[in-house]
Structure 1
Amino acid sequence: MRYRLLSALAAASAAIVADASPAASATYDYIVVGSGPGGGPLAADLARAGYSTLLIEAGTDQGDNPTYADIANFNEAANDETTRWDFWVRHSDDAARDLKFKHTTWDTGDGTFYVGLDPPPGAKLLGIQYPRAATLGGCAMHNAGVCSLPAADDWDTIANRTGDPSWAADNMRKYWKRIEKNEYLPAGDASHGYDGWLATSVADMSWAKNDSLPETRILKKLAELTGQNPDDVASLVNRDILAAGKDVDETTSFYSMVTHADNQGKRSSPNNYIRATLADPAKYPLTVKLNTLVTRVVFDEATVNKTGTTPRAIGVEVMEGGSLYRADPKHVANATGPVSQILARREVIVSGGTFNSPQILKLSGIGPAEELAQFNISVVADLPGVGENLGDNYEGSILAIGAAPVNSGLITLLFRTPSAPTKKRNIFTWCGAFSFEGFWPGFPTDYGPNEYTCAMVHMAPKSQAGSVRLASADPQDRPAINFRFFERHGDEDLRELVEGANLLRASFAAAGAPAVPLVEQHPCANGTDCTDAAQAEFFKLQAYSHHATSTCAIGGDGDRMAVLDSKFRVRGVRGLRVVDASAWPVVPGAFPSCPTMMLSAKAADDIIADAKQEQAA
């Protein structure tokens, strides 16, 4: 069998054989830019529907590399220069405040990084690392694989803002059932899927039956603190976190953590679905082009800036070669590649992710007119929302060092803090013998076998004030990214984080001998200065994130900041859509990877329905 795959370099995975044809000037029905949770499944779905589809990826295929294929290696994967793109972001407009972030990263000039608050003389400030993955399958190839679904309100928000009932939570569940291949429940659960392309599994939680373990004691104390029955914890920890049902978003409970991996610990991601589509005997018309950087969307000049016409996207301009984007640590200064254009008969779909999709739109003339003018980019569509509305989950952790190891499994708990503005849960936490304090080159810090952490994800953050803006008109440059943490309703979000930390901390002493005392490292260093105000200041300075969304947000016709309509179509132009995490108008739950795969499945339905309607006309 021969795979229809184009590669600019011979660096493509050995598992995929490059085909010398079609030529770079070929025309496809659809061009999809980016192979992550949004674009990868969408390209496969379009090809399986019979449409010739080109999927463009700036990186290589690492599907057979154990660093990525084995889900347990996720820390190594996120640090690996084979696929890593380093974005250096800001958390606020206050430079002095950002310099208090303990893991601020600097370029020493000798090929190494310095991470910390006291850089050596001459070191160049880089910022706060936000690693992304340039590889077939996108960031679903380097994440920890945690799979959770949005609250019903997150779906209903889109339905209400756009007036499109197809976004209602009750309707969206079908997309989860379509893509899931559940490997942890008996077949027949009507809320799950068993024949999809995305394997889901859970860890063995039998350790919770052993009352003599320090972590079982912590587990029971957490049950008491959250109104659950301590005698039932061995059962509660196996509760399905992806279950559907009334009031599920308001239920405080332990759960089994689901990952998008199979029962053998092998990562399941868009990479698997893309490769299965390429290998299928049905010979679906999917072509994958690796090591290719999209520089802009190409428009039919006859439709641009002409009275009575709407600009139409007809293809993309690409630069071919490996490590061309300057976020790639392997990038060689002044390296470029040959530039060409590839055409689409039907549509171009941008799926570059929350940072790169708005950058590509702006480089193509779609975005805030004033910003485009700064870089002498001709305006195709003045859309002020492109690159704005950047949001993320706030994340923080309570880290302690015990007198002895607290070895067992992982406690997963979703709960509501007292000051949460609604009845919905607002904290997703997981506790265990690990260390996680955010991202920097070489993360995480290993505190030894006695380390114990409860990591928190704050759901439904109230501030989405961040932005992704051009640093230049050069498509090889990174954009300027500022999350503006806590800028809106920050005191409320910080109060919820502190309340979450206080509840979790109250369980540590229950670990008992020989693990106690668990000496806290942060936010209350060595158990001192543990006032709510001190903790809030800690989280304000040290919170981190890695679930960026919403920079090309879906919205209603009357919303001037809406970039997309309810069918993912870019407003003000034709033949162009955005399908990835940037499309979310609000941050979807605690982890966006699986929700974005659902979003991708919906986009496939919308695009195919439009194509059939056009064909029938």
Structure 2
Amino acid sequence: MWNLVLLSLVCLIVSLIYNFYLSEPISIVRYPKKNYDYIVVGAGTAGCVIASRLSESKEVSVLLVEAGGYFKWHSSIPLAAPLLQRTNSDWAYATDSQEYSSRGLRHQKQFWPRGKGLGGSGQMNFVLHSFGVPEDYSRWPAEWSYKNLLPYFRRVEEIINITVVSAEEKLARAFHKSGIEIAHKNATFSLASNTLKKGARSSSYHAYLKRAWSRKNLHILMNALVTKILFTKLRAEGIQVKYSSGKVERIMANKEIILCGGTVNTPQLLMLSGIGPVDELRKHHIPVVKQQEQVGRNLYDHLNVPIYVNLKAPVSVTLNKLKSFNEIFKFFVFGNGMLASNAIVGTGRSGHSGILLFGMGTVDESLLKEIANFHTSTFRAVFPSYADPKLEGFIYLSSCLQPESRGNITLRSNESSDSPIINPGYLESDHDIECTHNAIQLALETLTTTGFVDLGASAHVPKLRECSNWPQDYTNHDFTECLTRTVGLTSHHPGGTCRMGKNHDSTAVVDEDLRVIGVDGLRIMDASVLPYPVSGTPNSVIIAMAERAADIIVTWK
């Protein structure tokens, strides 16, 4: 037994040394050329797809520019995702103080982790797979309807490895049965689908970029921040990059520049380059290239309200179990066990109200309180397992899948090194409060079903100072509103800040072909173009959209 463990550890260490030090792909460059046909800015979820697809043609040259470097090896472990937050692999953004939400968080600010490195946020998310529902796309431009995206959804499912939680697991079985028992009100329940391969993360970095990064016509430039898009009149001609050494260089594009920086970085870069609201540009003494009032607006995000559920049966993931020799052995030797999962059991929805069952019974206060920015008293009130690593339970995350509240991203200064001002405007619309209340009721209703009763499930009601004036009862609207405004947390699904629309749409930043309206040679493909939220996690949708975007680009005349 111990010989096998030792051999496995040696193989792991040798593999890591080989992969990170001896086998750097030929596409990685430190000194890029002066000109490329296509320049892709940002090696996140979409950027990996775009760069891979465009470089399939040997007749074109492609440069992929990324501000970060490689992610640490433990990014492959789904449950280790929180460990990457507030590190050099994270842009580590924080929102502005919120007026209508985040009252249980320090300074009423949400921390917004965004991946910085090859793979972007796809290397630090919880690998939950979803394409939303068909009606999500009914308000999108017709070219991006569910029907038109369906072939790309199928393509993604063939390329990205997807696994489904086994219905044989006791917690999963209870959740699945609850969906059958309360199959009214148009409620639908699904066991979680995840982008996992042999217990490890499967992202667009693994499935697209790594299979392309030995192509001679693809160059990947890491640790280089794009500080400006260069224009000649109204045509994007190139980019200005700043290296970690402080050196600044210009690189020109013969055909197009495709921005894949994400919901925060893309509008920031546009404004720094002179495309955005005139008042905002003039405020920071940025020369106006093209007035575009909608850049940075229409910002949305899902807000999750955690409901802790106590269990009597030993069926959840606990810190004690995760740290056990048995679980560590199963993961590193066989690629299975608790560490090979994301602990997400399933999702449910009724209308626009959604729930997600996260099967962690215990949470690490020293880690999760900090990355969520909770006040200590709030954290301990919501998560009773903070002091007991053996406590059995799980967390329901209740949210409004189609929130109406909108915020914006604006510049802090005209320096690219200064993070922008992020104001998501959480819960400004009362619709989102009612929608979240209904989600909480859906979560509670599952606990009355046979499977959960058999597991001894009971909802924990937090005693929050902010909500002490209301009946401590989840069925009370005033209490759930107070709860939502106090403990609601970002789901890490921001989007919409460069929304897509028709060319004549005054609220759009890009047209149906993802071209920035009013200028030539510049497109955007990332979550910022999504005009409305996806009713679920958007990562797989963005991969599919990037596939279609690549087809549009290569056929463009």
TM-score higher than 0.5: yes
Q: Which residue of 1 aligns with 2:554?
A: 608
Instruction: For 1:188-199, list aligned pairs within 5 A.
Output: 196=159, 198-199=160-161
Residue equivalent to 2:262: 353
Partner of 1:332: none
Question: Among 482, 485, 489, which residue is 1:537 paired with?
Answer: 482
- Matches of residues 163-562 of structure 1 in structure 2 within 5 Å? 165-181=142-158, 196=159, 198-208=160-170, 220-221=177-178, 223-227=180-184, 252-262=187-197, 264-272=198-206, 273-279=208-214, 283=215, 285-300=217-232, 303=233, 311-321=234-244, 337-402=246-311, 405-407=314-316, 411-416=345-350, 424-434=351-361, 441-442=370-371, 447=386, 448=389, 449-463=391-405, 465-487=406-428, 490-508=429-447, 511-512=452-453, 515=456, 518-521=459-462, 528-530=472-474, 531-545=476-490, 546-562=492-508
* 2:430 maps to amino acid: D
Q: Are the aligned partners of 1:58 and 1:291 in contact in 2 as well (CA < 8 Å)?
A: yes
Distance (Å, rounded) in 1 between the aligned partners of 2:289 and 2:455? 66
Amino acid at match of 1:258: S
Matched, 1:60 2:98: no
After TM superposition, the score normalised by the length of structure 1 is 0.73
Residue 394 and residue 435 in structure 1: after superposition, are their counterparts in 2 closer, same or farther (change >3 A)? farther
User: 2:176·2:189 contact (CA, 8 Å) conserved in 1?
Assistant: no
Letter in 2 for 1:35: A
Q: Which amino acid aligns with 1:207?
A: E
State the distance in 1 between where 2:154 and 2:175 align: 35
Q: Deviations along 1:206-249, whole A, 9 cap, x unmatched? A: 124xxxx7x7556645542344xxxxxxxxxxxxxxxxxxxxxx
The question of whether the paired residues in 1 share the 8 Å contact of 2:499 and 2:510 is answered with: yes
How many Å apart are 1:429 and its aligned residue?
A: 2.2
- 2:34 is matched with which residue? 26
Distance 1:493 1:21, change over 3 A: closer
- Once the two structures are aligned, what percentage of the paired residues are identical? 26
The structure with the largest helix share of the pair is 2
Instruction: Classify 1:391/1:539 alpha carbon distance in 2 versus 1 (closer, same or farther; 3 Å).
Output: same
Contact 1:401 1:520 in 2 (8 A): no
Instruction: Quote the offset at 1:257 in angstroms.
Output: 0.8
Amino acid of the structure 1 residue aligned with 2:402: A
Contact 1:399 1:435 in 2 (8 A): no
Aligned residues: 489
- Are the aligned partners of 1:435 and 1:453 in contact in 2 as well (CA < 8 Å)? no
State whether residues 399 and 435 of structure 2, in contact with CA within 8 Å, keep that contact through their aligned partners in structure 1.
no
Secondary structure of residue in 2 paired with 1:38: helix
Residue pair 1:389, 1:553 contacting (<8 A) in 2 also: yes
Alpha-carbon distance in structure 2 between the residues aligned to 1:405 and 1:314 = 60
Structure 2 counterpart of 1:317, one-letter code: Q
The match for 1:103 among 100, 105, 111 is 105
Partner residue, 1:135 = 117
Q: Establish whether residue 37 from structure 1 lines up as the match of residue 45 from structure 2.
A: yes
Which whole-Å CA distance do the structure 1 matches of 2:500 and 2:91 have between them?
A: 26
**Match in the other structure for 2:127:** 145
Residues 415-470 of structure 1, C-alpha deviation per residue, up to 9 Å, x if partnerless? Answer: 21xxxxxxx4531422534468997634596633223211124211122x210000
More off after superposition, 22-31 vs 556-565: 22-31
Residue identity in the other structure for 2:431: E
Are residues 312 and 514 of structure 1, via their aligned partners in 2, closer, same or farther at CA, if it must alter by over 3 Å? closer
Is the 8 Å Cα contact of residues 24 and 341 (structure 1) preserved in structure 2?
A: no
Which has the larger displacement, 377-386 or 537-546?
537-546
Name which of structure 1's ranges 507-516 and 465-474 shifts more when overlaid on structure 2: 507-516
Structure 1 gaps of 5+ residues are: 1-11, 105-124, 160-164, 182-195, 228-249, 304-310, 322-335, 417-423
Distance 1:522 1:394, change over 3 A: farther
Partner of 2:80: 73
Cα deviation for residue 527 of structure 1 reads: 8.8
Equivalent residue of 1:32, what SS? strand
SS at match of 2:370: coil
Contact 1:155–1:172 (CA<8 Å) still a contact in 2? no
Instruction: Write out per-residue CA displacement over residues 291-342 of structure 1, whole angstroms, 9 at most, x where no aligned residue.
Output: 0100010112xx2xxxxxxx11111000001xxxxxxxxxxxxxx6111111
The residue that corresponds to 2:137 in the other structure is 155
SS in 2 for 1:49: coil
What are the equivalent positions in structure 2 for 1:559-598 lying under 5 Å apart? Answer: 559-598=505-544
Separation of aligned partners in 1, 2:349 and 2:27: 52
Distance 2:286 2:229 in 1: 13
| TM-aligned CA deviation for residue 150 of structure 1 | 2.7
User: Residue 28 of structure 1: CA displacement?
Assistant: 0.4
Instruction: Please tell me the residue identity of whatever aligns with 2:74.
Output: T
Q: Deviations over 1:47-83 (max 9, x none)?
A: 0133211001111122xx4311222322323x26140
1:20 CA displacement: 8.9
Against the structure 1 CA distance between its residues 560 and 425, is the aligned structure 2 distance closer, same or farther, given a 3 Å change threshold?
Answer: closer
SS of residue paired to 1:384? coil
Q: What is the alpha-carbon distance in structure 2 between the residues aligned to residue 372 and residue 200 of structure 1?
A: 44
**Deviation of the 1:347 alpha carbon:** 0.7
**1:25 Cα offset (Å):** 4.7
- Is 2:539 the counterpart of 1:599? no
Which letter maps to 1:205? A
Task: Name the amino acid aligned to 2:398.
Answer: M
- The structure, 1 or 2, with the larger RCO (C-alpha pairs under 8 Å, 6+ apart) is 2
Instruction: Give the superposition deviation at 1:574.
Output: 0.5
Amino acid at match of 2:61: S
**SS of residue paired to 1:276:** helix
Contact 2:503 2:512 in 1 (8 A): no
2:275 counterpart letter in structure 1: I
Q: 1:517 to 1:168 in 2, by over 3 A?
A: closer
Note if contact 2:357-2:394 (Cα within 8 Å) is conserved in structure 1. Answer: no
TM-score, structure 2 as length reference: 0.81
